[in-house]
Amino acid sequence: MRRELPDFPWDSLAPFAARAREHADGIVDLSVGSPVDPTPAVVREALVAATDAHAYPQTMGTPALREAIVRWYARRRSVTLSGPDAVLPTIGSKELVGLLPLLLGLGPGDTVVFPRTAYPTYAVGAALVGATGVAEDDPALWPAGTRLIWLNSPGNPNGAVLGVEALRAAVARGRALGAVVVNDECYAELGWEPATWAGGDLAGGEAVPSILHPAVTDGDLTSLLSVYSLSKQSNLAGYRAAFLAGDPAIVGALLEVRKHAGLIPPAPVQAAMVAALDDDAHVAEQRERYRARRAVLRAALEAAGFRIDRSEAGLYLWATRDEPAWTTIDLLASHGILAAPGTFYEGESSRHVRVALTATDERIAAAAERLANLSNA
């Protein structure tokens, strides 16, 4: 039986995109958040070297990839995993978000919890299996019958970060309910304001706490998973390269289902992932690009009368003029700027827009100039 799914939200932006393209200097597209900078040479070279891929790849990932993921969690997230049996590559992270309820065997009568302001695919995953989706941030309000809890820290769209105590509360409540607790951590390398979350110095500098960190788990990863993507940190969105880690029992169960379903990352992509995971230099370089673009856009938006809420991490600014989101989208489109309405993430009453940092320096500068004209209008 076909499940009823919501309309694909991005289709509703088409008329505003067309209007923005009419600008004399072209559109500045800050809507989708697709990386625009080159894929690092070290990654491309690894991909090319692995293109003689005549044999079927491994669903579980090559030993080299699994070991690289384990090393990465230790080095970048201060997380010690039990070994390669605690990790699993995926074909990007969106397929996992959309399919995890199915892979876990959920169905009618089960509940999937996700953030109140959230990427819509969490709700779609619940709908695909006929489970009940509940948008709720307060662990005390997560209902009996909850089988899967999605956290998203740093959050998309609002860049919100859950500190150690908030993560501990979520883990405790999830275990009390007998649920799997998963944190989508795809923006974890892009923390900008560590003073805004407790435990910001867990791994030094601007580290965002992981759900698998010992300060959260006390060393027990039972029922916990972390999801990470290389799309943002390494400009690999076109490769579809991501992975999960955590409770080996859950990872093993997911592996068995994924074997049957043929959910296998291509062999050249697995080789490229190893190169990306082992090289921190390109991540630091890309991070500084985004830091500079964020500073330009934030200043321009605030000068134009916007307020920036949350946005302490991630690739977006969660901006508002205290008016309906679509009114703001229309205004920006009239100045050649396309953003994403908050209605995609928190319902029709939203008064926010999501402004992505994923545009070239030239386009970011153009957006800032247009916003200055908006503030002078």
CA distances from 172 to 141, 148, 165, 187, 212 (A): 13, 13, 10, 24, 13
pLDDT value for 98: 97
- Looking from the CA of 342 toward its CB, the CA atoms found within 13 Å total 24
Residue 212 falls within a domain, yes or no?
Answer: yes
**Measured CA distances, 294 to 16, 130, 237, 317, 327 (Å):** 23, 39, 20, 8, 23
Average pLDDT estimate for 108-114: 98
Residues in the chain: 377
For residue 44, tell me if it sits in a domain. Answer: no
One domain, residues 175 and 272: yes
Q: What is the pTM of this model?
A: 0.96
Kindly give, in sequence order, each residue whose CB lies less than 8 Å from that of residue 293, ignoring residues fewer than 6 positions away: 357, 359, 361, 364
Domain presence at residue 24: yes
Q: Is residue 288 part of a domain?
A: yes
How far is 337 from 52, CA to CA, in rounded Å? 43
The answer to the question of residue 204 being in a domain is yes
Q: Is pLDDT above 60 for 157?
A: yes
pLDDT digits (tens, 9 = 90+) for 33-85: 999 999 999 999 999 999 999 999 999 999 999 999 999 999 999 999 999 99
Summary mean pLDDT of the chain: 95
pLDDT digits (tens, 9 = 90+) for 302-314: 999 999 999 999 9
Instruction: Provide the number of structural domains found in the chain.
Output: 2
CATH of the domain at 367: 3.90.1150.10
Contact 170, 209 (CB under 8 A): no
Last residue of a domain, one of 238, 258, 278: 278
Looking at residue 201, its pLDDT comes to 47
100 shares its domain with 29: no
- Please state whether 28 falls in left (phi above 0), alpha (psi between -120 and 50) or beta: beta
Judge if 308 and 359 occupy the same domain: yes
Query: Comparing C-alpha atoms, which of 167, 156, 149, 168 is closest to residue 104?
Result: 149
Q: How far apart are CA 347 and CA 343, in angstroms?
A: 5
In a domain, 2, yes or no: no
- The CB density around residue 53, as the number of other CB atoms within 10 Å, is 13
4 assigned to some structural domain? no
One domain, residues 81 and 196:
yes
Do 185 and 274 share a structural domain?
yes
Write down which residue in 278, 309, 334 finishes a domain: 278
Task: Using DSSP, state whether 230 is helix, strand or coil.
Answer: coil
CATH number at residue 54: 3.40.640.10
Q: Which residues lie below 8 Å from residue 2, measured CB to CB, with a gap of 6+?
A: none
User: 82 and 64, same structural domain?
Assistant: yes
Calpha distance 311→330 (Å, rounded): 22
Residue 237 and residue 103 share a domain: yes
- Based on the fold, state whether residues 246 and 371 are members of the same structural domain: no
Q: Which of 240, 259, 278 is the last residue of a domain?
A: 278
Q: Is 273 inside any structural domain?
A: yes
**Whether residues 366 and 241 fall in one domain:** no
Q: CA–CA separation, 368 vs 353, rounded Å?
A: 16
Query: Is the distance from CB of 43 to CB of 286 less than 8 angstroms?
Result: no
Distance CA 277, CA 275 (A): 6
Q: Whole domain around residue 70: which residue ranges?
A: 49-278
Segment 113-119 shows an average pLDDT of 97
Percent of the chain with pLDDT over 90: 92
Taking a C-beta distance cutoff of 8 angstroms, is the pair 99, 118 a contact? no
Q: Are residues 199 and 309 in the same domain?
A: no
Q: Are residues 371 and 241 in the same domain?
A: no
Same domain? For 201 and 122 the reply is yes
Give the whole-angstrom CA distance, residue 210 versus residue 153.
8
- pLDDT (0 to 100) of residue 375: 67
